[in-house]
Structure 1
Amino acid sequence: MVALSHLVRVASTLTVVLYNALPAAEVKAYITAHEPSGAIRMLSSDGTWFDPCSTRSGVPGTQPVPAAVITHHLGAQGSYLGLEMPVPVTSGRMYLVTDGELEFGTTGPSEGGFCPLQEPSALDTDIASAHKSWGFMEFSYRGEQLFVNPTLVDFVGTPLSVRMETPDGNLDAKGLPANAVELICEGLAGKARDEHGIPWHKLCVRRQDGSALRVLSPSHFKEADIPILDTYWDEHVEAVWNAYRSKPLHVNTQGEHGVVLCQVHGDVLVCDSESFAKPSSTDVFGCNSGPFVNEGSSLRRAAGSRLCAAFHRSTLLVENGDKQPAGGVERYYTTSPSNWYAMLVHQHAIDGDGYAFPYDDITAPGRKDRSGTLSHAYPEKLVVGVGGPLPV
């Protein structure tokens, strides 16, 4: 008998179900995605993809997208809202807000069929969304695979959980508990005391009444006004470079290049045909600048991503740290400096999983992926919980 998961099925829609786990919260949802043409669209209340530029007037400047067209309203705590989303789509985002509306706007008319859409921001305090409680997840469904990432790379806000129902059973990412923001803020305050007064607690964004609204990733340390983090990794980088002047670092690219040997020559870490300059703290926190720019050869991308993950987890100088990716989460975040935000995300996640920095899905061979990403070729339903885990 052929397994159901191996049957050919071309889906035209994906069933999406949204669950409200929060008491006394009026939850609203918004969904954006790119059609195969590359044009960005928003899922309308009638279940079709809506061109957000289609309602623009001739007046220049940013214009709001009509909320009535793009807003999906969830019911009271314990209720479900079902949607049928046309597919295939790529680079999708699902936004869930618990205290009002999120505003979307267009910054100009469509050019060549592509609409410049202004989406919510947790960083721009001039935009209303920066003062509201919300979260988002990313997804793509090209028809042959649904991929979902309940990302926390930018911030922790309203907790989201995800379940993908498939012919082979359910795939779950349980996410964070309802009080995750408060728990992580408390943990960062503790780290501020531990690390000689480095104000990690300033990553915690608070409302005017002092209550915790969200926690920013340290990649946004400049927006959080923590200039000392600009040199946070400098001494550690020097120690790593000194350690691998006299011995090789084994990096398992987990692909066509196998295990490559890296060693410092002069001021660069040479990995076969690729060389990496010393990263700055900004390079480490973001994993997308300096030596960690995600471009170049497949070897460079594979080695660079594993090096950056190792810095976040502080595994390059621990026992057997000369073999990367390091095996076992028990070896992560055991020494200072570390990405304490990521450590606290995983510590408080209900199942230990969470995508807390770029490349948090990198795992040693034979070890469980702890990023919380889900994927399947034949999804039957995507269920998203707002404010906590889904019912069993």
Structure 2
Amino acid sequence: MRTGRKLLHRLAVVAAAASTAVALGGTAPASAVPPDHLPLHVTNNSGRGEQIHLYVLGVNLATGRLGYVDAGGTFTAWSGGTLPPSPAPDVAISGPAGGATTTLQIPRGLSGRVYMSFGEKLKFFLSPDGLVQPAPWASGDPNHGILFDWSEFTYNDDGLWLNSSQVDMFSVPHSVGVTGADGGSSTAGELVAGGRDGIFDALAGQPGDWGRLIHTRADGTRLRVLSPHKGIDTAVFGDTYLDGYIAQAWDTYRDTTLTVVPFQHEPDTRFHGRTDGAGVLRFTDGSGAEVASFQRPTTKDVFGCDGRLHAPNDHVVGPIARTLCAALHRSTLGFAHTQPTYDPAGFYTRDVTDHYSRVVHEHMVDGRAYGFAFDDVGGFESLVHNGSPVSARIDLTAF
């Protein structure tokens, strides 16, 4: 199970979306402070008959405390955790019936998740350091047999960032949207018609371990497909799958220079990488000073965008690491020598690639998804943002 500390780290990454988006050339925050509470409309167009349960969980950005939010927008910090973890209070909010909408209130100053489950309530637990959230990729997790998913958000003085997420798994098709004070609206994460079945079928038919990432319930319901990172964690996906490609990419830059231009709005900010005799990819800045170095990562490092590709929240090492990780997922590193690349027609074109992310993107209406942690490199993530939001929405679409 994922501990409260790990969840806090993940939500801190989400909370950093504001500064990251601006640094990478995204929309600058509006000057007006958004409302204290933002209405979030959850609409059920799933076509399924089960009762839907909603949860708003996250971290208070002012205090760092993990907690939950009720339907009216009141935040309450978790308390009373034990070892071993004890059951958390039932904080489920009754969700909408078919064709109906339930409106939640999201307090400003919160970064977190909106969970939605079908039929059964989710089981959460508390440890001394906070929440133990569902980890359905683990067979022993009490939520393993429940159909559920989540979206992630940050709502602060600079506005709302809201995204669907397939970083850990894909399960419930849903889109996210936001409407601004000027009446403008944006949507992301919408699947093409039949997209859910299309994703499952494509991965089931992909040679190798990809079909083993699918979880099917005893009643025949296909619950979810895991990301390859979670597949490695649960020993259903090979942990050397990318090793040959990674070695080829690293060796390419023994004789060729890799140029990383991490900020689209700063084309003159460039870092130049060459692989040395010890197999370390070293980057220099415009003055020739070394600013970052990366040992050759493992398959798990790449699929998790962590380990030897850990990206600190700075303006040099982190952006380079993010760029490398995205290029390896998209199988462009070693072939395109200036990164990142921005033409999706060149992504996932090799036999050895992240077929999970490829398939998810192929089944999105706008081609955007969060197939891995740094899918926002180049702006290919299923994210909406508005600096002056007046409402947000999550639409559960048909499946």
TM-score category of the 2 structures, normalised to the smaller one: 0.7 to 0.9
Paired residues for 1:268-347 under 5 Å: 268-272=280-284, 273=290, 274-290=292-308, 292-295=309-312, 298-318=315-335, 321-347=336-362
> Per the alignment, in what secondary structure is the counterpart of residue 380 of structure 1?
strand
1:34 partnered with 2:59 = yes
Q: Percent identity?
A: 26
The offset of 1:19, in angstroms, is: 0.5
Q: C-alpha separation between the residues in 1 aligned to 2:83 and 2:316?
A: 45
Paired residues for 1:189-228 under 5 Å: 189-192=204-207, 198-227=208-237
User: RMSD over aligned Cα, in angstroms?
Assistant: 2.3
**Which of 223, 232, 240 is the matching residue for 1:231?**
240
Q: Is the contact between residue 163 and residue 382 of structure 2 (CA under 8 Å) also seen in structure 1?
A: yes
Amino acid paired to 1:234: D
Paired residues for 1:29-178 under 5 Å: 29-35=54-60, 36-53=62-79, 56=80, 61-67=84-90, 70-90=91-111, 92-108=112-128, 116-168=130-182, 169-176=184-191
Q: C-alpha separation between the residues in 2 aligned to 1:307 and 1:60?
A: 39
> Per the alignment, in what secondary structure is the counterpart of residue 222 of structure 1?
helix
Q: Is the contact between residue 184 and residue 344 of structure 1 (CA under 8 Å) also seen in structure 2?
A: yes
The offset of 1:271, in angstroms, is: 1.1
The offset of 1:178, in angstroms, is: 7.4
Q: C-alpha separation between the residues in 1 aligned to 2:314 and 2:46?
A: 46
Structure 1 length-normalised TM = 0.85
Q: Is the contact between residue 154 and residue 219 of structure 1 (CA under 8 Å) also seen in structure 2?
A: yes
> Per the alignment, in what secondary structure is the counterpart of residue 232 of structure 2?
coil
1:15 partnered with 2:39 = yes
> Per the alignment, in what secondary structure is the counterpart of residue 317 of structure 2?
helix
The offset of 1:287, in angstroms, is: 0.8
The offset of 1:37, in angstroms, is: 0.8
1:360 partnered with 2:371 = no
> Per the alignment, in what secondary structure is the counterpart of residue 16 of structure 1?
strand
Q: Deviations over 1:196-229 (max 9, x none)?
A: xx221001111123431100000112344335x2
Q: C-alpha separation between the residues in 2 aligned to 1:370 and 1:79?
A: 30
Amino acid paired to 1:302: P
The offset of 1:107, in angstroms, is: 2.2
Structure 2 length-normalised TM = 0.84
Amino acid paired to 1:315: T
Amino acid paired to 2:326: A
Q: C-alpha separation between the residues in 1 aligned to 2:180 and 2:35?
A: 13
Paired residues for 1:173-188 under 5 Å: 173-176=188-191, 179-188=194-203
Amino acid paired to 1:131: G
Amino acid paired to 2:342: G
User: How many residues matched?
Assistant: 359
Give unpaired runs (5+ residues) of structure 2: 1-28, 285-289
Q: C-alpha separation between the residues in 2 aligned to 1:177 and 1:28?
A: 25
Q: C-alpha separation between the residues in 2 aligned to 1:127 and 1:223?
A: 14
The offset of 1:145, in angstroms, is: 2.0
- Sort the Cα spacing of 1:143 and 1:296 in 2 relative to 1 into closer, same or farther, 3 A: closer
Amino acid paired to 1:11: P
- Sort the Cα spacing of 1:249 and 1:61 in 2 relative to 1 into closer, same or farther, 3 A: closer
- Sort the Cα spacing of 1:46 and 1:307 in 2 relative to 1 into closer, same or farther, 3 A: closer
- Sort the Cα spacing of 1:296 and 1:162 in 2 relative to 1 into closer, same or farther, 3 A: closer
Q: C-alpha separation between the residues in 2 aligned to 1:6 and 1:105?
A: 38
The offset of 1:387, in angstroms, is: 3.4
The offset of 1:101, in angstroms, is: 0.6
The offset of 1:135, in angstroms, is: 0.8
Give unpaired runs (5+ residues) of structure 1: 109-114, 193-197, 364-368
> Per the alignment, in what secondary structure is the counterpart of residue 201 of structure 2?
helix
- Sort the Cα spacing of 1:388 and 1:325 in 2 relative to 1 into closer, same or farther, 3 A: farther
Q: C-alpha separation between the residues in 1 aligned to 2:310 and 2:196?
A: 30
- Sort the Cα spacing of 1:257 and 1:25 in 2 relative to 1 into closer, same or farther, 3 A: farther
Q: Deviations over 1:240-271 (max 9, x none)?
A: 12222112111112159712221111111111
